[in-house]
Structure 1
Amino acid sequence: MNSSLNPGGVNKLTETTRTPSSKADVCIIGAGPAGALVAHSLSQRGHSVILLEAGKSFESTDRPERMERFLRPGGERRSVWDVDEERDAFSSSGRERYTLNTKRVKGVGGSTLHWGGRVERFPEKDFEMETRYGVASDWPLSYDDLEPYYALAERELGVAGTDDNPVTPRHEEPYPMEPFPPSYSDELFVEACEKLGIETHSVPNARNSRGYDGRSSCVGYGTCSPVCPSGAKYSADVHVEKAQDEGARLIDQAAVRRLEYDSSANRVTAALYQTPEGDLYRQEARQFVLAAGAVENARLLLLSRSDAFPNGLANSSGAVGRYFMEHPYVGVIGRLAQSTGQHRIGFGTTESYQFYEPEGPPPGSFKLEFENEAGPKVLDIALQQRGTLADLSNVLADPSRSTLAEPLKNNQPVIWGDELLDSVRDHYGNYFGISAEIEPLPDPNNRVTLNDDQTDAFGDPVPDVSWSPGSYSKRTAERAFDVIEEIVDTLDATVEAVERVSFWDGAGHSSGTTRMGTDPSESVVNPNLRTHDVENLYVSGASTFVTIGATQPTLTIAATALRLAEHLDSEVL
């Protein structure tokens, strides 16, 4: 192992020297879940690893302050993890405005710093869309290929759950921790589902239902997304630190601007990165792994164009950036004439895959989720002094909006004291939400390109995301609305009000753009995630996914990353 990759006497999280290491076995770009797991797995096996991350290292002791930043009047999600609008600049040219910077975090841990923590496996059907339904394409991997890596991922992340989902195939091993019990509001909806013959089950969560892996059990802050102050919810900085303990070196605030390519050897020779001081460095390595997310993976390949690859590195197929996928969300919010216990916990505990395997689409798959954090918080109501569904849906339509950005409507008088307390009681505690995660289909016209008319802080073209859900997703959404409204109509409670809401710009599950396949003319990477065109360049993460069903992608990101690490260790390094 190359000892220069972990200089003695330098604090792991606060290293200030950002000069490159001597040539490493592997250079990984991106310190989210994919990059972190590959880094830990390889460094644990004795390989020298360098990890380059565009964002900061965030000290775990700062998380309570970040939670307070979010909770303060006017607090915004983007401010919690220090979005840099110049560094993180982007554009959106699709029919749906894609709000990229509300969906990602650039920093050590990546988007697991602000994610919700649901970690279902992809059901078998998601790998076989062309075979089963004649749409999209099959994965070159099967569920059986990934099953042992799913189990390993559940152990590495720490998943609380039980094998009660009838759609997810066999689990060879039990979950590491017991599941969280259903919430108070879940019980209201489960009863209605039972009357309709809709089967519900627990939610596997990457958060500790008891102490696990040196982290505490969940203590109920309720601000899981965007920040868990206790560390009970998994975030990928856990595995970055473990990788550093094994000898890997992390360089944060190292924005990789392009990959240098030697056409005579058909290899990447270096990653060119820039530091906050403006210094430009070259990091050499034997192998390179892109793990910066679907948007930035595609962008970096496109930025690395050369005479050999005029349309972008590893892009002889023209597929780099194409087949961008995202999960639309639809659902209802409403109020009951009884308590729902809103905001008592900040994560889901019950869901349903009843409608996940249709006989033949459209409509496609959707998953029902019962929300424990629906409706406004006490602070929002107290400061706005209004609580109508119309006002609430405006806030829900743009979660990044400050709830204090609009003035009081209709010249409402300012109220204080007991009158304010009564108003809060009238508008808090009885909201509910049921949502559905909607399956998209890969479409080559949904894509990430370079916007040459707009540049970022380094003078490079920003990524442009062109995204439209399409008729398949919209027909699926209409079916989901019908089912959700049936559940609401069956509730053993008085429904005071209900309203449809739609999040067409997606949940933050950006996928596709470097899809895997066996045909180099139609895909970017092979089943082992090596690019077809370049011998020593691999891609990890959801950008390699062929389809994404209606399930959160993070556990599959983790499983494919662990499979990649095993391949690199046994076949390449």
Structure 2
Amino acid sequence: MVQEHFDVVVVGSGFGSLFFVEGYLSRRPAAKILMLERGTFNSHAWQLEQNRNSPIVPSSTFRTDAAKKVWNFTIGVGGGTNCWYAQTPRFHPSDFRMRSQYGVAQDWPLDYDELEPYYFAAETKMSVAGSPEMGEILPRSGPFPQPPHKQTAVDAIMRKAQPQFHFPIATARASVADAGRPPCCASAQCNLCPVNAKFTFENGFTNLRQHPNVEIRTDCEVTHFDHAGGTVSAAIYKKGGAEHRVTGELFVLGANAIHSPAILLRSGIDHPLTGVGIHEQVGYQLEVLLDGVDSLDGGTITTALNYSLYDGPFRKDYAGALIYFDNRWPHGLRKEYGRWRQFAPLVVVVEDLPQDSNRVVLDDDGMPKVLHADVSDYAKRGLQESLTNIKKVLEPLPVERIDFKGMRDTESHIQGSLRMGNDRASSVIDAKQIHHDVRNLVVVGSSVFPSGPNSNPSLSVAALSLRSAALIA
């Protein structure tokens, strides 16, 4: 077999990998880049026809000791860009300094202001729809590429009463026909968007698909790296029943927060925190019955975010919560004549903290196994406090009753298993997202999060990757 060599070898093709390659090529356009993807390319048309994002079932690729804990992701070209709902709020400035401000978790090795230009660049690439009002709580250096989606009557009441907390959501679902995508059809089928309105690999990275120096090689499962003396020399992958080896100068690991640590463990790159701290947010659903206010008149699946319970001194003691105001009927319409739309469905998402007891390990046959005993007590207290305080948050509305509709199985946000930080003793990778012990190995994706903010992570993953690429290239 002829030895293959590339300037950059990338494992995975999800948000982290794609935005890293995008940022790297903007500074080194002549770089020869290979992306190794375990799955296949599944077009938008294929996904609609098959009613799934990928032929690979996520649970078939790992094991777990917690049967009730769901870990959801997509394996295929584009990774999470296929299955995501395209919610793109930024993290809050306080999320980056949890230890110094509230005495919990770890501080990130960067702050909001440092990441802000990369947030803006990622939003521009995704053609995000949003309102300038969001800048009141999440400062911005420029306008959103697209205007916000139409708000509901419920949002109008909440926004008038709580202008400091209630904002139109930022989302990579088009609000107007632009950037080659039609506007959102508000059918609430975002994981399989019927009109191709959300940002995906297929409609958003044509430049990489056509770039002469970028090869995306599918059906390639990377098993491990060859390394010595603090340097990776090659990636080893399986394809067509055979083992292959490709060398490179720089290696980028962006599988996901389960499979990235598994690859490092199989490689013998055994930093003591590898795989440690895997977690995601904790979510639950509410249905708010209203007296005389019709809802479901918005322009997209989720129309607004409420930050009343997100941040404050209370985070020293319990987790913050982000409230999503939805424009759908997950629990059915009301049955009373003429009052079918007099309700507001809410999703409440509570942050969790990494715990050393929750981790990714290898089973005897080398398959990753997720050990997850429970969410943190910090998150549990946050759940209870958010339930206690939700009535006060909703005081502007004519509320008849608030019904708890159950916990959500997953938020589909796997994170924290390869934490970033300045100190090797408390993190696996550094502020540039380079492995502390292997200096030509970059880790991208939500696995690098030192804490578990309760906003959707994809935009932050994209921004972090753009920043890492800029610093390294």
Q: 1:445 aligns with which of 357, 366, 373?
A: 357
Q: Do the aligned residues in 1 keep the contact of 2:150 with 2:298 (CA within 8 Å)?
A: no
| Partner Cα separation in structure 2 for residue 294 and residue 57 of structure 1 | 21
Match of 2:353, SS state, is coil
Q: Residue 366 of structure 1 aligns to which amino acid in structure 2?
A: A
Matched, 1:462 2:426: no
User: Cα offset for 1:270?
Assistant: 1.4
Match of 2:305, SS state, is strand
Q: Residue 183 of structure 2 aligns to which amino acid in structure 1?
A: S
Larger Rg: 1
| Partner Cα separation in structure 2 for residue 57 and residue 21 of structure 1 | 26
- For 1:148-297, list aligned pairs within 5 A: 148-165=117-134, 168-187=137-156, 194=161, 199-224=165-190, 226-238=191-203, 240-247=205-212, 248-261=214-227, 263=228, 265-275=229-239, 277-297=240-260
Q: Do the aligned residues in 2 keep the contact of 1:28 with 1:51 (CA within 8 Å)?
A: yes
Q: 1:561 aligns with which of 462, 465, 468?
A: 465
Query: For each residue in 1:98-143, what CA deviation from the matched residue of structure 2 results, as whole angstroms up to 9, or x when unmatched?
Result: 212xx20001111221212111111111111111111111111111
Aligned twin of 1:359: 313
Q: Do the aligned residues in 2 keep the contact of 1:113 with 1:235 (CA within 8 Å)?
A: yes
- For 1:296-335, list aligned pairs within 5 A: 296-305=259-268, 313=269, 315-316=270-271, 318-333=272-287, 335=289
Query: For each residue in 1:61-101, what CA deviation from the matched residue of structure 2 results, as whole angstroms up to 9, or x when unmatched?
Result: 334424xx3xxxxxxxxx44323368x3322225x73212x
Match of 2:21, SS state, is helix
Aligned twin of 1:507: 411
User: Cα offset for 1:184?
Assistant: 4.4
Q: Residue 475 of structure 1 aligns to which amino acid in structure 2?
A: R
Query: For each residue in 1:147-166, what CA deviation from the matched residue of structure 2 results, as whole angstroms up to 9, or x when unmatched?
Result: 11111111111111123236
Q: Do the aligned residues in 1 keep the contact of 2:96 with 2:108 (CA within 8 Å)?
A: yes
- For 1:360-509, list aligned pairs within 5 A: 360=314, 361-376=316-331, 429=341, 432-452=344-364, 460-487=366-393, 491-492=397-398, 494-495=400-401, 498-503=403-408, 505-509=409-413
How many residues align? The count is: 469
- For 1:520-539, list aligned pairs within 5 A: 520-539=424-443
User: Cα offset for 1:339?
Assistant: 7.6
| Partner Cα separation in structure 2 for residue 168 and residue 243 of structure 1 | 34
| Partner Cα separation in structure 2 for residue 213 and residue 190 of structure 1 | 29
Q: Residue 353 of structure 1 aligns to which amino acid in structure 2?
A: Y
Q: Residue 61 of structure 1 aligns to which amino acid in structure 2?
A: A
1:291–1:353 distance in 2 versus 1, CA, 3 Å? same
| Partner Cα separation in structure 1 for residue 169 and residue 406 of structure 2 | 23
1:467–1:568 distance in 2 versus 1, CA, 3 Å? farther
Q: Residue 92 of structure 1 aligns to which amino acid in structure 2?
A: T
Q: Which deviates more from structure 2 when the two are superposed, residues 155-164 or residues 54-63?
A: 54-63
| Partner Cα separation in structure 1 for residue 168 and residue 297 of structure 2 | 18
1:168–1:271 distance in 2 versus 1, CA, 3 Å? farther
Q: 2:57 aligns with which of 84, 88, 103?
A: 84
Aligned twin of 1:8: none
1:363–1:537 distance in 2 versus 1, CA, 3 Å? same
Query: For each residue in 1:369-404, what CA deviation from the matched residue of structure 2 results, as whole angstroms up to 9, or x when unmatched?
Result: 1122242469xxxxxxxx9xxxxxxxxxxxxxxxxx
| Partner Cα separation in structure 2 for residue 230 and residue 336 of structure 1 | 32
Match of 1:479, SS state, is helix
Q: 1:27 aligns with which of 2, 6, 9?
A: 9
User: Cα offset for 1:267?
Assistant: 1.6
Aligned twin of 1:395: none
Query: For each residue in 1:314-338, what CA deviation from the matched residue of structure 2 results, as whole angstroms up to 9, or x when unmatched?
Result: x33x011012121001231255576
Q: 1:549 aligns with which of 444, 448, 453?
A: 453
Q: Residue 242 of structure 1 aligns to which amino acid in structure 2?
A: N
Q: Do the aligned residues in 1 keep the contact of 2:307 with 2:322 (CA within 8 Å)?
A: yes
Aligned twin of 1:396: none
Unaligned runs of 5+ in 1: 1-18, 70-78, 306-312, 379-386, 388-422
User: Cα offset for 1:51?
Assistant: 0.5
Unaligned runs of 5+ in 2: none
Query: For each residue in 1:296-320, what CA deviation from the matched residue of structure 2 results, as whole angstroms up to 9, or x when unmatched?
Result: 1111111212xxxxxxx1x33x011
Q: Residue 273 of structure 2 aligns to which amino acid in structure 1?
A: A
Q: Do the aligned residues in 2 keep the contact of 1:31 with 1:240 (CA within 8 Å)?
A: no
Q: Do the aligned residues in 2 keep the contact of 1:343 with 1:377 (CA within 8 Å)?
A: no
Aligned twin of 2:24: 42
Q: Do the aligned residues in 2 keep the contact of 1:41 with 1:243 (CA within 8 Å)?
A: no
Q: Do the aligned residues in 2 keep the contact of 1:516 with 1:544 (CA within 8 Å)?
A: yes
| Partner Cα separation in structure 1 for residue 199 and residue 2 of structure 2 | 29
Q: Residue 236 of structure 2 aligns to which amino acid in structure 1?
A: L
Match of 1:81, SS state, is coil
Q: Do the aligned residues in 1 keep the contact of 2:292 with 2:398 (CA within 8 Å)?
A: no
Q: Residue 13 of structure 2 aligns to which amino acid in structure 1?
A: A
1:36–1:343 distance in 2 versus 1, CA, 3 Å? farther
Match of 2:8, SS state, is strand
Instruction: Give the TM-score, by structure 2 length.
Output: 0.90
Q: Residue 39 of structure 2 aligns to which amino acid in structure 1?
A: G
| Partner Cα separation in structure 2 for residue 244 and residue 552 of structure 1 | 26
| Partner Cα separation in structure 1 for residue 155 and residue 3 of structure 2 | 52
Q: Residue 232 of structure 1 aligns to which amino acid in structure 2?
A: A
1:515–1:85 distance in 2 versus 1, CA, 3 Å? closer
User: Cα offset for 1:477?
Assistant: 0.9
User: Cα offset for 1:41?
Assistant: 2.9
| Partner Cα separation in structure 1 for residue 136 and residue 256 of structure 2 | 28
Q: Do the aligned residues in 1 keep the contact of 2:149 with 2:300 (CA within 8 Å)?
A: no
User: Cα offset for 1:514?
Assistant: 0.8
Match of 1:222, SS state, is coil
1:181–1:345 distance in 2 versus 1, CA, 3 Å? closer
Q: Do the aligned residues in 2 keep the contact of 1:376 with 1:428 (CA within 8 Å)?
A: no
User: Cα offset for 1:183?
Assistant: 2.7
User: Cα offset for 1:431?
Assistant: 5.3
| Partner Cα separation in structure 2 for residue 254 and residue 466 of structure 1 | 28
Instruction: Give the TM-score, by structure 1 length.
Output: 0.75
| Partner Cα separation in structure 2 for residue 239 and residue 32 of structure 1 | 12
| Partner Cα separation in structure 2 for residue 176 and residue 21 of structure 1 | 44
Q: Residue 257 of structure 2 aligns to which amino acid in structure 1?
A: A
Match of 2:257, SS state, is helix
Aligned twin of 1:120: 89
Aligned twin of 1:390: none
- For 1:96-111, list aligned pairs within 5 A: 97-100=68-71, 103-111=72-80
1:241–1:279 distance in 2 versus 1, CA, 3 Å? farther
Query: For each residue in 1:330-370, what CA deviation from the matched residue of structure 2 results, as whole angstroms up to 9, or x when unmatched?
Result: 23125557685559765211111122222242222211111
| Partner Cα separation in structure 2 for residue 290 and residue 170 of structure 1 | 31
User: Cα offset for 1:168?
Assistant: 3.4
Q: Do the aligned residues in 2 keep the contact of 1:43 with 1:246 (CA within 8 Å)?
A: no
1:85–1:159 distance in 2 versus 1, CA, 3 Å? closer
User: Identity over the aligned pairs, expressed in percent?
Assistant: 25
Cα RMSD (Å) of the superposition?
2.8
Query: For each residue in 1:506-558, what CA deviation from the matched residue of structure 2 results, as whole angstroms up to 9, or x when unmatched?
Result: 31111111111111222111111110111211101111111132211111100
Q: Residue 309 of structure 2 aligns to which amino acid in structure 1?
A: F
Match of 1:54, SS state, is coil
